[in-house]
Structure 1
């Protein structure tokens, strides 16, 4: 198990409020992978900050509030998972997205979504089923117009071969950004692949390293 320290970048003036919190990983056994993870996280934080500053220089007199929050969702057996939420309030509009950093420290490798699933499984089909089930649940609460709108949004989503995910104690959580789905629909931005219910879909690597330890 590694330890985590919090670092931050803060700024406040008449038109800008920045509160960028990010983790720094510490370990008694310093490996190159630790430095790689810390550098990657820091570069992503700085890239986010720079992008907002570029927008600020164009949009005069707009209030910009940006922040980042991170969570340690798994840290055991040499495996660490850290999702970081990047949020931007531009005027009246709130945009957020999640980057996730999933690593096997002992093997000194990043954990890819393909490492999670049995190689015989079409993992995008499994994710699509989870989305469909969530929509069916929400359909009980939504008007017909809203339900149709959500379906249209989902049809427009183009899944990459490596969707954003993080590891939790009881499953793998797939994440979507607010601009990919309708932000007015709550409880639709994450979908869990349960270790208990979906074990047959999972790779031996995940079963041995996380579930059966």
Structure 2
């Protein structure tokens, strides 16, 4: 009988020893699953934070002057409101209005008709805002600017501003990418690929932008980075402006957490 009891005791001890690693393994797997769930929740929470931000309310205040045969002047100045973050509103207003005021000062000469001066056509200056993105905590706006002060034709270009309404800051191109990513190399290589059939554009991109790694003008539209070149930027005046979309498959592995949010908004 004693031998039976001793044998049973030994068997129980062996079973207990074997069971301990299994329990620990199950606990480890449970902890790993919990960590994975927390990471998923955190990622979704960041996206949700952006999606909960209310869009800006944007109206325009028109400043218009016309002096027959001398000049035409129309500024549609955007007015920003609609969110509680007053510092962010002030940042946007200050940034955009400073540039508009700068253009007004530079173009003020066209309102002055010199003694004996005759103009075949009135000089013109127009500014028209165009909202590219205004949802999910991302605000991107362009100012369309047209100026004519004599000659064969006027000049037209756009200036863009993009803001992160959650963080209350202006967005820079580098913000979309991880810190160790050469984002200018990535972007320019993709544009080269898009224009490879056009020798003139390729040559101009190499000479005037890529060679010195010039920071290109960008805006955000449909949850993607768009790169902008004004007329004469890559081609002739007749060819006009050029806009290049940087697709998800090009940047997917290189995006920062913010970049993932922007590119994910129109997917989720």
Taking structure 2 as the reference length, what is the TM-score of the superposition?
A: 0.66
Match runs of 1:1-213 below 5 Å? 1-13=55-67, 14-54=69-109, 57=112, 60-62=117-119, 63-91=122-150, 92-137=152-197, 139=198, 147-148=199-200, 150-158=201-209, 162-184=215-237, 186=239, 189-195=242-248, 198-212=251-265
Contact 1:69 1:84 in 2 (8 A): yes
Which structure has greater helix proportion? 2
Unaligned runs of 5+ in 1: 140-146
> 1:119 Cα deviation (Å)?
2.5
Larger radius of gyration: 2
The whole-number CA distance in structure 2 between the counterparts of 1:16 and 1:202 is 47
Report if the CA contact (8 A) 1:170-1:196 is conserved. Answer: no
* Cα distance in 1 for residues equivalent to 2:131 and 2:249: 21
Could you list the runs of 4 or more consecutive aligned residues of structure 1 that deviate by over 6 angstroms after TM superposition? none
Q: Distance in 2 between matches of 1:152 and 1:197?
A: 22
1:35-59: per-residue Cα shift (whole Å, max 9, x none)? Answer: 2211221221121122112366588
Which has the higher relative contact order, 1 or 2, with Cα contacts under 8 A spaced 6 or more apart? 1
* TM-score (structure 1 length as normaliser): 0.81
Q: CA RMSD in A?
A: 2.6
Hey, which of these two has a bigger chunk of strand by percent? Answer: 1
Q: Is the 8 A contact 1:172 1:195 kept in 2?
A: no
Residues 92-101 or 74-83, more deviating = 92-101
Q: Quote how far apart the aligned CAs of 1:209 are.
A: 4.7
Aligned residue pairs total 204
> Contact conserved, 2:228 with 2:241, CA < 8 A, in 1?
no
